[in-house]
């Protein structure tokens, strides 16, 4: 299958291009500059010059493909919806896979699936109307699918590093918010890449939580990373207000207590996460 990918030079994108090519797909990837173009070439994709603001480029690239996977992170909901609309117009009845995130659920109050009510923090509240508009295409002959990844780990650029390595968080120890009892729904980047490949055969209008099914607490993650950083497991608790001062509104998302099951993707797509020991991975230097 000929697949057009946005965000191909990023953390998730590189892994997804690799997974697509291993499964026999050919990939073209959006590249906003020469550095991004070199990156996607290295990972097996042909670059398409442009950005999410270049709606004509997105539409044409989607029209020339048999499927689209939208991984790039837009600056605003309006930008994301405009890009999604251009690509859905281009791909027509072909698969269109859109990226969201589990943060839109807010606190989950135990283990939940994709049908849990949405209660997003302000940081990601814009995702809900965009995803609603994307999924509405299913009623008009489109094949939209939404993937909501959890917190990523593995490889060289974990999303949770944005929390642990933010300047001002702590010195000589790894910080966690409050008592650290909030659970984090983690997913290994390689497992997530395989999920994106699997969604190319998903039914129109489907939503999948991209999670590994193992949801350690923030404190457990901090202790593991502390060991990997040579700090002997030393951690420190900070308040939510201190976290906000250090990293802004994203602190409220990292304070969420979230647990999810990956059963829907397993049952419908045959996707089974292979990485089920995130704390061991986080403890590696």
Measure the CA–CA gap between 108 and 71, rounded to whole angstroms.
25
Tokens 């998302």 — which residue?
A: 253
Question: What confidence score (pLDDT) does residue 93 get?
Answer: 97
- pLDDT tops 60 at residue 167: no
* DSSP letter, residue 2: E
Q: The pTM is what?
A: 0.95
* Residue 283, in any domain of the structure: no
Measure the CA–CA gap between 211 and 94, rounded to whole angstroms.
25
* Residue 174, in any domain of the structure: no
* Residue 40, in any domain of the structure: yes
Pair 35, 98: CB distance under 8 Å: no
* Residue 70, in any domain of the structure: yes
Question: What confidence score (pLDDT) does residue 280 get?
Answer: 95
- pLDDT tops 60 at residue 202: yes
Residue 228's pLDDT band (boundaries 50, 70, 90)? confident
Measure the CA–CA gap between 206 and 197, rounded to whole angstroms.
14
Question: How confident is the model over 199-211, as a mean pLDDT?
Answer: 98
* Residue 223, in any domain of the structure: no
- pLDDT tops 90 at residue 159: no
Pair 196, 248: CB distance under 8 Å: no
| Structural domain that includes position 71 | 2-152+186-211
Measure the CA–CA gap between 50 and 180, rounded to whole angstroms.
42
- pLDDT tops 80 at residue 168: no
* Residue 141, in any domain of the structure: yes
Count structural domains, the chain. Answer: 1
- pLDDT tops 80 at residue 120: yes
Pair 160, 151: CB distance under 8 Å: yes
Q: How far is CA 254 from CA 35, 172, 177, 199, in A?
A: 31, 21, 8, 27
- pLDDT tops 70 at residue 103: yes
Which pLDDT tens digit goes with each residue over 257-278?
A: 999 999 999 999 999 999 999 9
Element (H, E) at 152: strand 151-153
- pLDDT tops 80 at residue 158: no
Q: DSSP string covering 67-115, please?
A: EEEE-PPPSSHHHHHHHHHHHHHHHTTSEEEEE--GGGG---SSEE-TT
* Residue 6, in any domain of the structure: yes
Q: Extract the tokens encoding 269.
A: 């797509």
Q: Residue 38 is part of a domain; what is its CATH number?
A: 3.40.50.720
* Residue 157, in any domain of the structure: no
């Amino acid at each position: 299958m000929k697949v057009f990918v946005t965000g191909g030079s990023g953390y998730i994108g590189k892994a997804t291009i690799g997974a697509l090519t291993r499964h026999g797909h050919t990939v073209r990837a959006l590249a906003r500059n020469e550095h991004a173009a070199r990156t996607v070439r290295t990972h097996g994709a042909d670059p398409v010059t442009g950005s999410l603001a270049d709606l004509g480029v997105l539409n044409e690239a989607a029209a020339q493909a048999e499927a689209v996977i939208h991984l790039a992170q837009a600056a605003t909901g309006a930008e994301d919806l405009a890009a999604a609309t251009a690509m859905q117009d281009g791909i027509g009845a072909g698969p269109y896979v859109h990226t969201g995130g589990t943060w839109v659920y807010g606190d989950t109050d135990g283990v939940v699936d994709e049908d849990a009510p949405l209660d997003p923090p302000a940081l990601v509240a814009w995702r809900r109307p965009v995803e609603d508009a994307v999924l509405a295409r299913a009623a008009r002959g489109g094949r939209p699918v939404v993937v909501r990844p959890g917190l990523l780990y593995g490889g060289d650029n974990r999303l949770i590093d944005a929390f642990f390595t933010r300047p001002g968080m702590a010195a000589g120890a790894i910080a966690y918010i409050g008592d650290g009892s909030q659970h984090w729904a983690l997913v290994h980047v390689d497992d997530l890449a395989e999920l994106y490949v699997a969604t190319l055969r998903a039914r129109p209008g489907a939503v999948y939580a991209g999670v590994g099914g193992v949801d350690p607490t923030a404190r457990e993650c901090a202790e593991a990373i502390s060991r990997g950083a040579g700090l002997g497991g030393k951690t420190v608790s900070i308040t939510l207000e201190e976290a906000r001062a250090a990293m802004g509104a994203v602190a409220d998302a990292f304070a969420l207590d979230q647990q999810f099951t990956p059963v829907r993707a397993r049952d419908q797509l045959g996707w089974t996460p292979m990485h089920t020991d995130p704390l061991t991975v986080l403890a590696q230097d």
